[in-house]
Amino acid sequence: MIITFENFPTVLAEVLALQKELKALLLSKATNQPQELEEPINIKEVAKLTELSVPTLYGYVQRNEIPHYKKGNRLKFFKSEILNWIKESKVKTVSEIEADADTYLSNNKKAV
């Protein structure tokens, strides 16, 4: 469709009507889908997930090295937070270290 000065008001009205429909559709989808709440897991489940021993995990908790929640004497964890914690522990490869070194050296050259 070619938009001209004469048909601009009708084209604009159609665009606004479509925008209104899309907005209503998005809002209805957002309210119809119940948000799934993640259930907390206990330390034994974290040990199974991470393949670490329970005493090792208690040490991480004591040193605040692992994300956790404590209500009274109960420790609780969320699986997504534990998986993110594992992902943050990635060890860089040799090529990544070399790339970081090259970037650092190229950005920090001293004038001779």
At 68-82, the pLDDT tens digits run: 999 998 999 999 999
Render pLDDT for 13-34 as a digit per residue (tens, 0 to 9). 999 999 999 998 888 877 665 6
Let me know if residue 35 belongs to a domain.
no
Sequence-distant (6+) residues with CB within 8 A of 45 are 77, 79
Let me know if residue 6 belongs to a domain.
no
Let me know if residue 105 belongs to a domain.
yes
Q: Looking at residue 4, what DSSP letter applies?
A: -
Let me know if residue 101 belongs to a domain.
yes
**What does the block give as tokens for 78?**
């969320």
State the total domains in the chain. Answer: 1
pLDDT at residue 57, as a whole number:
96
> Percentage of the chain surpassing pLDDT 70?
92
Let me know if residue 1 belongs to a domain.
no
pLDDT at residue 89, as a whole number:
86
Let me know if residue 63 belongs to a domain.
yes
CA distance 105 to 82: 35
Amino acid at 50: T
Phi, psi of 78 (to 5 degrees): -115, 135
Let me know if residue 38 belongs to a domain.
no
Which of 110 and 91 is assigned the larger pLDDT? Answer: 91
pLDDT at residue 20, as a whole number:
92
Let me know if residue 25 belongs to a domain.
no
What residues make up the domain containing 48? 43-109
Which of 65 and 109 is assigned the larger pLDDT? Answer: 65
